[in-house]
Amino acid sequence: MRVEGAVVLVTGASGGIGAAVVSDLAARGAAVLAAGRDPAATGRTAASTGAVPLVADLASPDGPAKLAARAVAVHGRVDALVAGAGVGWWGSLPEMPEDRIDHLLALNLRAPIMLTRALLPGMLDRGQGRVTLLASIAGLVGVANEAVYAATKAGLIVFADSLRLEIAGSGVGVAVVSPGAVATDFFRRRGAPYERRFPRPVSPVRVATAVVDTLQRERDVVVPRWLAVAPRVRALAPRAYRSLARRFG
């Protein structure tokens, strides 16, 4: 898909990876719709890039449908969706409040699915489009104390695989970007800082570059790329992988 002139809806655009994606796309000549929950932060992203701000609560039951309708109303179409909104939570599963479980499932998994469902018919009718989902390395290998977060990201990955088969040959592409640790406020907001010495967090700009690449070329990407070895080892030698994961976290 050609990015220049394309109408792209980016969720999670109030900061972090989403804001970096908006900036990258705007610089390449895309007509960007920047969606976020925080009106002030979303407005700042839009003002600095020329994007159209759309404030939305995607965790609410009708949030995705309302956002999709508003996004289509701006230019009459949406050529690509970048589903970047998401949230984490750190701690043991028994300690996780039920409302936090519901929130993660709604925002991280249900919202991207419902947005895709709402926007996909228009893309299929036009015979072109892209859906890029922001997952995580946690969805490929699992992470202790982030069971629900990892489950939501694994769900996105399998959703993308299934949808890709379902719409094969339609002209609409589906891709997943799975970052490792990223230097954003994510860790502070999940309730625990990132304390590992390795791997070091990558910049949100680096992830944004990978996201934009998936719009131009349909392919799944792990950022940084070398992290893709972890799910490969897990698939080939699951017992050995689990032993290493317990030892090194």
Q: Which residues contact 211 (CB under 8 A, 6 or more apart)?
A: 17, 21, 24, 82, 84, 132, 134, 177
- Tokens at 202, concatenated: 């990558």
Provide the residue type at 246 as one letter. Answer: R
- The C-alpha angle with vertex 116 and arms to 9 and 186, in degrees rounded to 5, equals 65
149 is an active site residue: yes
Within 10 angstroms of residue 197's Cβ, the number of other Cβ atoms is 5
Query: Can you tell me whether residue 197 is helix, strand or coil?
Result: coil
Strand-strand pairing, 7-11 and 221-223: unpaired
Cα–Cα dist 240/55, whole Å: 46
Q: Out of 30, 51, 56, 149, pick the active-site residue.
A: 149
Radius of gyration of the chain (CA): 17
Cα-to-chain-centroid distance, residue 26: 18
DSSP percent split of the chain into helix, strand, coil, nearest 5: 55, 15, 30
Query: Can you tell me whether residue 199 is helix, strand or coil?
Result: coil
CB 80 within 8 A of CB 7: yes
Catalytic (active-site) positions: 149
